[in-house]
A and B are shown apart, each in its own frame.
Chain A
Amino acid sequence: MKFTLSWLKEHLDTDASIDEISETLTKIGLEVEEVINPAAQLNGFITAVVETYERHPDSDHLGLLTVNTGKEKLQVVCGAPNCHQGLKGIFAPVGTLIPCYNEVLKVGKIRGVESFGMMCSEKELGVGTDHTGIIELPADTEIGVPAAQVLPIDPVIEISITPNRAECLGVRGVARDLAAAGLGKLKPLNIRKISGTYTSPIKVEIKASEACNTYVGRYIKGVNNKAQTPKWMQDRLTAIGLRSISPLVDVTNYINYDMARPLHVFDADKLKGNICVRMANEGEKFTSLEEKEYTLDSQSLGICDDEGIQCLGGIMGGLEKGCSPETTNVFVECAHFTPENIARTGRKFQIDSDSRYRYERWVDPKSNILGSDYATQMIVDICGGEVSEMVMAGSEDFEPKTAYIRPSRIKDLIGLDVSAEKIIEILTHLGFTCSQENGKIKAVSPTWRGDIEGEHDLVEEVVRMIGLDNIPAVSLPHDKLPKVTLSAKQHNAMIVKHELANRGMLETVTWSFMDENLADMFRAQPDHLTLINPIATDLNEMRPSIVPNLLIGVKNNVARGENNVALFEVGPQFYGRKPTEQTQAAAGVRYGLTNSKHWAHNERPVDIYDVKADALAAIAAANGPVDSAQITTDAPGYYHPGRSGALRLGKNVLAYFGELHPSVSKKFGLKQRAYAFEVFLDNIPLPRNTQGKARKKLELSPLQAVDKDLAFVVDKKVKAIDVITAAKTADRATITDVRLFDIYEGDNLPEDKKSLAITVTYQPIEKSFTDKELEVLMQKVIVAVENKCGGQLRQ
């Protein structure tokens, strides 16, 4: 909402400065977004007179001036066609910042003649648009005074209006609030009661009272729409960003911003028959004045003549029956539409207008006749014409909202004592009619307020006038040691992030949505989870996996020349459109080299064992069962079928890891192999509450453990984990660790065989092993590997 200072003063009698006004507006809940005060940039400019004027010796169109500033006389070169001897205008001495060019004026030399300053145009000063000549001030203007004192300067104030304060979408509402805050007096409205001289040839009828309960119309014949809109009105409209179009349009715009009162003017000669306010027929067409065609439904309200819908009630006028410069007879509409219907239709057809904006918030239901009089008066004043009697359908009867407030409630809710007298004073200033009933204050809302439902609303009115700064600040009481803030699950998510970052990955945060087409490759079920109104076509589906978003991240980094990327994210993944159909995952992608070219070690590309380690580390960080998890080779199809795995507890999948399927990498434009893991944090079992934090007793043996190396020849398809498990379980009492330290395929071995070498750690229990005992223990491992994996001890 924008208005100018002079506009505000039309309604508010005040001496307050622009700074005081803007500070108060913010304090009472009408937040000032911007104040544009042209006076602020007029520093240095002064009034001056052109004492002598002659032709520039070396130019036909330039003048050579002596300018008297009251203090000194200066030689100035000036090209303005309206410059002449005796002209009083605005002078910029050398060193002045010229707003229009944003440059400091220097001594100029124009065709060999020096110029010590400049006579200015409106445009150069930023106070107007005129640049055809320099400003010419009245002959009695004093010279040598600051420009801001003599120029007509009207600062523009922009405030943001919250949806509950619809009446402040008109300057009068703002003025009333300021008056209530003690910043002046609200001036009485000066609207003439107009009595018509003939009966309107156009009648009105309401057939949809649920959407429109009042319709006031007036016929004005013989108007001149080619007349000039008065300069003051043009200036105010221009200042708030509206274009002056024609007097009829300007008047409706002006009243909309002056009184928050929308209006519509039809070209009466184009209307056929009478006005009927009715619901549209399903499929009925309407073409707006913006030349867009809409196919309406039966809940859309139309203002119709015999030829159909000419106006989408309260939202936008139609193309056909609007006013043109040639218009001579008009029909002025001032009506009341219900917010619900306006909001529905506006949203359905996505039409935004100043009128819709006001109606769907609140328009004073008792302002129809007033608005009609106001508009009629202005039209007649500007365009002339002869006014009919008012025609009206429905009535302006309206029961204002009533609410009660207990002074004690303010103290209870706000922590501040406010007397009943003060409450009544504040509410009365705001237009409420107050009376006291059984210790409560009864407050009847003014008709321009539609937001007051109950006591809490009245509390807010009082508080905003008293000032939030006057409420004391009291720390929250806390009388005990707070318990641990994070739940076990929340704590796990946090630790996992820190673990993965500590493993060299960069945590990122990516959109929860992604490209539907890319999601195809990552979706477990065929259901798409698309947005009706995505912000971009490639962000139109809730992500089924974090991995694709990380791959986009990798791709963008590679495009910037960063070829080694390790990114992870902890966040939601979605599998259904209902709330709770989402899971929390920690996903990571590694790409390029894990060790780059270095003097001390070879460069090493990322491989699946890096992402397997990431997945295991994340599970371990979340207190997951790393040792008892099984590894299976059934990761989803977006992974390489032979280079991926799942970590699971039976059916419960804790994680997937592996190389991404080459067709997936290709789709993301990645030239090298990419590796990913996904840990499903929700699937990691949480410790039961009954479990204490005490650990198992640590049994330490005084005896030294013995390491024995064994190598087995097995079929190539035998999984390493099976050999390790077979060895580990060969003698649970003594074998504490089995480590695979070598894999060999090739010479000396059959084509389909490989050799796996392991170190088995034996822990003696009561006394050290004898050679014989060790021999037996090793034999147990050999037998176990042979039985379970078909392995032969390699000689």
Chain B
Amino acid sequence: MGKFENIDTMLHQALQAIEQANDSAAIENARITILGKSGSFTQLGKILGTLPIEQKKDFGAELNIAKKQIEDKLGAKKEILAEQELNTKLAKETLDVTLPIRDEHQGRIHPVSKIYEEVVAIFGQMGFDIAEGPDIEDQFHNFNALNMPANHPARQMQDTFYIKNPDSDNFDDSYVIRTHTSGIQIRTMEKQQPPIRIIAPGRTYRSDWDATHTPMFHQVEGLVIDKNITMAHLKGCLYDFMKAFFELDDLPVRYRPSYFPFTEPSAEMDIGCLKTKTELKIGAGTDWLEVLGCGMVHPNVLRAGGINPDEYQGFAFGLGIDRLAMLKYGIPDLRTFFESDTRWLKHYGFTPLDFSSMTGGLSNTGGQAR
């Protein structure tokens, strides 16, 4: 207790008043009542002048201490009240965070484009360029230059679509829609001497329609020509590709002798898999799946492309983009690729933010169409 009873009393009253104030208006009121122009402590200050000199110093000091106490109390109380009021306000502002977001739209990349990008990423790493050619081809590039002269039975292996000659009613087979992208081999050799290392992706067309054949599908042709390229390189290159493409450390492969007019020796490549009633798993297993045709480029094809077969040699291969998509991403029916069913496109499509690369990853599984 101080020496001045009136200070003590008034301090006590003031602190009590502050304590009892329960909103910012009340606390302001209390402040004015205590420290305002005619507030209790302002009044008390006025007493100071009337006191005898020997009391003045003590009274003043005590008064200041009391005032400081009041101000602290005021500050503390204000903070408490401000926080209470903020909490009340926040409580009133609550929103339902479970409400769905506004419409946003992100589409999908078609599996054919995705596989194209993956194939480009892998072969790009091996130093291949991408070559292109026309969908409508002449007989020379689609057949003759590929060692398939007229009446060659292999021409019937591929049910060819022919383009009508508007100036003639007779059957005119000068132009076809390409049955393979192999014609791009010739177009490349016509423009470029070896070393050649290209892949040629594109649409191809054959008259066939069931769960694994459609009249249009997508192929990647590959061609490597140099002085010392052997069938061992063919095996190495395709094995490297398949392992990278299926993102597996180990993948059993086998080669079967086969026949293509434009390669010799020719082979077909199978990869290992495990077939069960419900799924197909690529990798070690009991079954084999045919994935591509390949072989050493036939000397006649090199000649047709203007390359000396005594000096250069190499290999070629052709693989189906759609088929790779079916195998890698488990798509059961080829026909569905071309039906534009939005449910299918959303389900089997890929996020547009994913660009395939050997450094950043070939494919991710994240994201959903919005």
Contacts and interface: CB of A to CB of B under 8 A. Distances in A.
A360 interface: yes
Interface string A151-166: 0000000000011110
A474 B355 CA distance: 29
Contact of B230 (A162, A414, A500, A601): A414
B230 A475 contact: no
B289 to A, nearest CB: 13
B113 interface: yes
B113 A599 contact: no
Given A531-B162, A579-B141, A505 B107 contact: yes
A688 B125 CA distance: 26
Contact of A572 (B203, B233, B337, B353): B203
A656 interface: no
B199 to A, nearest CB: 9
B167 to A, nearest CB: 10
Nearest to A567: B340
Contact of A499 (B124, B215, B352): B352
Interface centre among A499, A512, A574, A598, by most chain B C-beta atoms within 10 angstroms, is: A512
B355 A574 contact: no
Contacts of A599: 99-100
A534 B161 contact: yes
Contact of A414 (B208, B216, B231, B268): B231
Interface in B235-266: 235-237, 239-240, 254-259, 264-266
A456 interface: yes
Nearest to A412: B230
Interface string B327-369: 0000000000111111101100100110100000000000001
Given A494-B117, A539-B215, A550-B340, A533 B161 contact: yes
A625 interface: no
Interface in B195-236: 197, 203, 205, 207-209, 215-216, 224, 228-233, 235-236
A485 B124 contact: yes
Nearest to B138: A579
A120 B346 CA distance: 53
B49 interface: no
Interface string B115-135: 001001101111111101111
Contacts of A577: 136, 163-166, 175
B134 A579 contact: yes
B345 A506 contact: yes
Contacts of B369: 506
A360 B264 CA distance: 21
A163 B236 CA distance: 28
Interface stretch (B19-27, B78-86, B150-158, B279-287): B150-158
A472 interface: yes
A475 B237 contact: yes
B258 A31 contact: yes
A459 B264 contact: yes
A504 interface: yes
Contact of A557 (B112, B313, B340): B340
Interface in A420-472: 454, 456-457, 459-460, 463-464, 468-469, 471-472
Contacts of B235: 468, 471-474
B151 A469 contact: no
A360 B341 CA distance: 44
B338 A582 contact: no
Nearest to B204: A512
Contacts of B106: 501-502, 504
Contact of A472 (B103, B171, B197, B232): B232
A135 to B, nearest CB: 32
Given A163-B154, A498-B355, A507-B109, A482 B256 contact: no
B126 A527 contact: no
B316 interface: no
B313 to A, nearest CB: 6
Contacts of B74: none
Interface residues on A, range: 35 or more
Contact of B267 (A468, A482, A556, A578): A468
B298 interface: yes
A595 interface: yes
Contacts of B165: 577
Contact of A26 (B105, B164, B256): B256
A491 B260 CA distance: 32
B126 A482 contact: yes
A579 B175 contact: yes
21 contacts: A412-B230, A415-B233, A454-B299, A456-B264, A471-B232, A473-B239, A475-B237, A476-B224, A476-B229, A476-B237, A482-B127, A482-B128, A485-B130, A487-B130, A507-B109, A507-B345, A511-B215, A535-B207, A562-B343, A579-B141, A579-B175
Question: Which 7 pairs show the lowest CB-CB distances between chains A and B?
Answer: A504-B105, A553-B340, A162-B259, A485-B124, A29-B257, A415-B232, A501-B352
Interface of A: 26-29, 31, 162-165, 339-340, 343-344, 347, 360-361, 412-416, 454, 456-457, 459-460, 463-464, 468-469, 471-478, 480, 482, 484-487, 490, 494, 497-513, 527-535, 539, 542, 550, 552-554, 556-557, 560, 562, 565-568, 570-572, 574, 577-582, 594-596, 598-601
Interface of B: 99-100, 102-110, 112-113, 117, 120-121, 123-130, 132-138, 141, 151-154, 156-157, 161-166, 171-172, 175, 177, 197, 203, 205, 207-209, 215-216, 224, 228-233, 235-237, 239-240, 254-259, 264-268, 296, 298-299, 313, 337-343, 345-346, 349, 352-353, 355, 369-370
